[in-house]
Structure 1
Amino acid sequence: MFITPEGKEIFVVDGHTHFWDGSPDNQRNIHGKQFVECFYAYHTALSPKEQLWEKSKFEKYSADDLYRDLFIDGPDDVAIVQSTYLKDFYKNGFNTVERNSEMAKRYPERFIVNGSFDPRDGEKALEYIHFMKETYDIKGVKMYTAEWNGASKGWRLNDPQAYKCFELCEKLGIRNIHVHKGPTIIPLNKDAFDVHDVDYAATDFQNLNWIVEHCGLPRLDDFCWIAVQETNVYGGLAVALPFIHSRPRYFAEVISELLFWAGPEKILFGSDYAIWTPRWLVEKFWAFELPEDIKQERGVDLTPEIKEKILGLNAARLYDIDIEAKKAAFARSPFSIAAE
C-alpha cells in the first residue's frame, strides 16, 4: 500500500515483475550472459545511485529479496509475475511459470503468475497452454515475439499458429495477453519486437486484453495510433517509468502522449522488477507534475485520480481483483519472510 503525503491509501498492482535466474550456472551460452548484462545496463543507467545492486545479486536474487522489495520495503499490494523462458539462452529457462509459481504459492494473496508459450512449438504449445491452465489456473500470458527458437529469430502475433494459441486462450478464459513491444535486449532483434502486429491480433480477438508492455518504445507513435482505435489495447509503463528520474522531460512527453491517445483507463503501472524496485518509482510518480507547456499543448493532466488508476485500479479491473477483499485478507495475514 502506498500512503500519499496527505495520508490517502493507494492500492498498487505492479503489473510487470520477474523472478529470474540469470546466473552463470544457468547460462547456456554467451547469449545468456549478454541478455542479463543488458538488463543490468538498464538498471545501472536509469536507477538512482542509492538503488543500485551488485551484479551477482541482480543475476539471481531470492524469493525473500523479491517479497521484501515489493511488499515490505515497497508499496505493492499485488504483483503480477511475468514468465519469460529464453530456453535457447538459459539451461532451466530464465523466468519460468513453474519457478514463479513455486515461489508465489508461499504468498498466494500477493502474486498473480502469468504463463508463457511459443506458438512455433506447434501442438506442444497448445498442450502447454492446457497444462498451465489446469495446473496453475493462469489468467494471463507474457509473449516475447523476439525470442529465439532454434533457427527462428522471432514470430508475429498474427502468425497462423499464434492465432490457434490465442483461440485456445480465449476458450480457456486466459484473457490477458501481455506482449513485450519495446526496447530490444542483446542479442534479440529490434524489429521482432515491432508493435504493428498488435493491430491485427487485437482486432481479431476482441475478447482478449492486449497489454503492450513498454508501450511500444521506441515506437510510441505507432502504439498510440493503435491504442486509440482498439478498445482492448493497453499500455504498460515498465521501462518508460524509470525515465522519470534520469530524463523527467522525456517521461513527461511519453505519459502525456499516452494520456492524450489511450486515456487514463488504459495505462498500467509496472516496475519491471528486478531491473528496478517499485518504491522509488511510485514515490517519484506520485510527486510528478507535468510541465505546464506540455499540459497546455496536449490538453491533458496527470491528476491524483489518474495516478491512482494507473497505479492499481486499471490492472485490478483487468484481473478481477476485489480490492476491499484483498485489504481484508492482508489485515488477517501480517507480513512475513519465510525461510529459504
Structure 2
Amino acid sequence: MYEYNGEEVFVIDSHLHHWDASKENIKHEGGEQFIQCFYDYHTAFTPDDREWDIDQYRKYSSEKLVQDLFRDGSVDMGIFQPTHLNEFYKEGFNTVDDNAAVAEQYPERFITNGRFDPRDGDAGLTELERQKREYDIDGVKLYTAEWKGDSKGWRLDSEAAFDYLQKCVDLGIKNIHPHKGPTIRPLNRDAFDVSDVDDAATSFPELNFIVEHVGLPRLDDFAWIAAQEPNVYGGLAVAAPFAESRPQKFGEIMGELLFWLGEDRILFGSDYAIWEPEWLIDAVMNAELTQEQRDEYGVEFSIDVKRKVMGENAAELYDIDIEEQKKQLRNDDISTQFDLSDQYDEGETAAD
C-alpha cells in the first residue's frame, strides 16, 4: 500500500489496459498508427529513465503488468478498460476476454469492465448480456471514435446508444466510462467530443458516467456539463502525467475539477501501459496547487482529497469495502512472486 508522509493511501487505478499491438496482430494501417500515437504520448510525458522501447511497448506479458502495477507501482486494485478496435487488430487490441483472463488469476486485485458498440445491433445486446453473465461486469468502457466498416464513430446520445444504456440499467451495469479525451491517430477528434454525455447523463440518472480523460482538450465543456449533472465523474487518465511534466498545468486542471465537480467525483487512472503508476502515483501525490490557484479556485488538494481521488471515489462506485480489501490483500505475496529482471539487458530493470 502506498504511504504518504507516514499515512496509508489505498490506490485503485481506474484505467488499465492489457493490449496486443504486435505486428502479427495488426491487420490495418490504422493499427500501426494507433500504437505509434500511444507511444508518442508515452515518450512525451514519461521520465527518460522510465521509457520503454517500442517493441516492449507493443505487447507486454501479464506478469509484467502485474509487477508494474502491484509490486513496483503501489497499486492496490485496478480496473480494466477494454478497447477492441477490431477494424485495426486481428484479435482485437485490448479485449474484455483477454482482460478477464488476467483478472481471473488475481480476483482480489482486478475488476473487469465490459464494452459495447451500438452499431452492433441486437448481436451486441446479446454480447453485453454474455459479459454480464460470465464476468459480472459493473461497468463498460465506450470508445465513440472506434471505426466499424464505413463508420468512423457514434454518439452516446443516439437512439441506438440509448437502447444499450437501457440494457445496462436492466442488467445492473451502473458505471459508464466513455473515452472523451485526446484523439489517437487515425481516429477523428470530433468523435470524442464530450457534448453527447449531457443528454445521456440526464436521460439515465441511475447510471454513473465516468468521463475518461476529463474531456481534454475540452476541459471547460466537460466541467460545465459535470457541474449540472450529478452523475457525471471525471477520470484523470491523461491528465495525471501533467503532475510530473507540467505541474502548474496539472494544478490548473485539478483546480477546475475540484471547483466544478468537488472532491467526490474525481478518479485516478494511470492509463497503463501508456504510463506506469510507479512514478505517476508519486507525481500526483506530491502535487500541490500554487497559492494563486488556491486563492482563485477556493480549494485545496489536501491529503484527504488525495485519498478520495486515488481510491475512495472508485471504491464507492464499484462497491469496494476498502477495509475488507486491505484484509484480503495482507497475505498477498504478489510483491515477491515476480522478478523479470533476467528478461532485460544488463543495466536495465524490468520497469525500464
Interval of TM-score (by shorter of Structure 1 and Structure 2): over 0.9
Measure, in 1, the Cα distance between the counterparts of 2:23 and 2:115: 23
Corresponding residue for residue 314 of structure 2: 315
Secondary structure, in 3 states, of the residue corresponding to 2:30? helix
Q: What percent of counterpart residues are identical?
A: 54
Residue 2 of structure 2 aligns with an amino acid whose one-letter code is: F
Corresponding residue for residue 3 of structure 2: 3
Secondary structure, in 3 states, of the residue corresponding to 2:126? helix
Residue 129 of structure 1 aligns with an amino acid whose one-letter code is: L
Corresponding residue for residue 152 of structure 1: 151
Measure, in 1, the Cα distance between the counterparts of 2:168 and 2:95: 18
Map 1:28-47 to 2 at 5 A. 28-47=27-46
Corresponding residue for residue 286 of structure 2: 287
Measure, in 2, the Cα distance between the counterparts of 1:28 and 1:109: 35
Q: Which runs of no fewer than 5 residues in structure 2 stay unpaired?
A: 341-352
Corresponding residue for residue 180 of structure 2: 181
Secondary structure, in 3 states, of the residue corresponding to 1:228? helix
Encode CA deviations 1:113-144: one digit per residue, 9 max, x unaligned. 10111100100110011010011111100000
Post-superposition offset of 1:339: 11
Secondary structure, in 3 states, of the residue corresponding to 2:222? helix
Residues 13 and 77 in structure 1, CA contact (< 8 A), matched pair in contact too? yes
Question: What is the TM-score when the length of structure 1 is the normalising length?
Answer: 0.98
Post-superposition offset of 1:338: 7.2
Corresponding residue for residue 100 of structure 2: 101
Residues 75 and 278 in structure 1, CA contact (< 8 A), matched pair in contact too? yes
Secondary structure, in 3 states, of the residue corresponding to 1:212? strand
Residue 293 of structure 1 aligns with an amino acid whose one-letter code is: E
Residues 241 and 283 in structure 2, CA contact (< 8 A), matched pair in contact too? no
Question: What is the TM-score when the length of structure 2 is the normalising length?
Answer: 0.95
Residue 6 of structure 2 aligns with an amino acid whose one-letter code is: G
Residues 18 and 65 in structure 2, CA contact (< 8 A), matched pair in contact too? yes
How many positions carry a matched residue from both structures?
Answer: 339
Measure, in 2, the Cα distance between the counterparts of 1:168 and 1:101: 21
Residues 67 and 338 in structure 2, CA contact (< 8 A), matched pair in contact too? no
Secondary structure, in 3 states, of the residue corresponding to 2:13? strand
Residues 11 and 323 in structure 1, CA contact (< 8 A), matched pair in contact too? yes
179 and 238 in structure 1: CA distance in 2 versus 1, 3 angstrom threshold: same
Encode CA deviations 1:134-172: one digit per residue, 9 max, x unaligned. 111111000000000000000000111111111011111
| 1:263 corresponds to 2:249 | no
Residues 64 and 337 in structure 1, CA contact (< 8 A), matched pair in contact too? no
Measure, in 1, the Cα distance between the counterparts of 2:294 and 2:179: 29
Corresponding residue for residue 51 of structure 2: 52
Residue 26 of structure 1 aligns with an amino acid whose one-letter code is: N
Encode CA deviations 1:176-223: one digit per residue, 9 max, x unaligned. 000100000000000000000000000000010000000000100000
Corresponding residue for residue 25 of structure 1: 24
Secondary structure, in 3 states, of the residue corresponding to 2:151? coil
Post-superposition offset of 1:333: 2.7
Residues 84 and 144 in structure 1, CA contact (< 8 A), matched pair in contact too? yes
Post-superposition offset of 1:279: 1.8
Corresponding residue for residue 232 of structure 2: 233
Corresponding residue for residue 63 of structure 1: 62
